[in-house]
Chains A and B, each alone.
Chain A
Amino acid sequence: VDVNITREGGESKLVLKGRLDTVTAPQLQEELLPEFKDADRVILDFAEIVYVSSAGLRVLLQAEKTAQAKGAEFKITGVCPEVMEVFEMTGFTGMLNIE
């Protein structure tokens, strides 16, 4: 997965591209979680994420928990229908801030 990070003010935006699976999820975790240290708003641009498995869901759940513990905002944008279906099946639509 390609991760492109831009930081402005208290906001970190991560533009992702590729697959979020068992092989790539640890990489996203390493890049995503530290962003909550300084940012009070973290946005994941999912427009070019075509595939998410449970390994990817685990990273998103951890990010959401981290955000809540810190009182930060965590938002996912541009989710494609295939990935949205996985979010819906697992109840992640009701748990994450998805735009």
Chain B
Amino acid sequence: MHELNIPAKTERLYEAQAFAENLMEEAGFSPRMKNSISLVIEEIFVNIAAHAYSPAEGDVLIRLGLEDKNSVVLEFEDKGKPYNPLEEESPDVGMPAEQRDIGGLGIFLYRSIMDEVEYKYENGKNILTLKKREER
């Protein structure tokens, strides 16, 4: 597992994405898979940045496991307020624009992209683990 520990601040987003993109590039992942993982990282990272420690500040630990060229394990760990994103209600994606709400899209996106998403709260930490295998 590769690790990156950085302050959970929106302005550090590109650092978090570059961490995964560079490692995936070296490991020979497809651009499509890199793009998907970048998107997932954004949605989770900015959520932690906005809510986990607010109004205080704290770090987020990101782990990336690249088992082979086809599968990715991502893990986010923060010591903020207990928060299970999987309990959020999914938006109704079949609604017309005027009835669509603006929230919930980020969580919906990463749950759609990843094959598995698990949440646990352990030793004062929120731990979100996500897995994706690319079909070839």
Contact = CB atoms under 8 A, between A and B. Distances in A.
A65 B97 contact: yes
B43 A65 contact: no
A27 interface: no
B97 A95 contact: yes
B42 interface: yes
B13 A23 contact: yes
Given A23-B14, A51-B38, A95 B100 contact: yes
Interface stretch (B57-65, B88-96, B117-125, B127-135): B88-96
B108 A58 contact: no
Interface of B: 10-11, 13-14, 32, 35, 38-39, 42-43, 46, 91, 93-98, 100, 102, 105-106, 108-109, 112-113
Given A54-B109, A90-B105, 17 more contacts: A21-B13, A21-B42, A50-B35, A53-B42, A53-B106, A53-B109, A54-B43, A54-B105, A55-B46, A61-B102, A62-B102, A65-B97, A68-B97, A82-B35, A86-B109, A89-B109, A95-B100
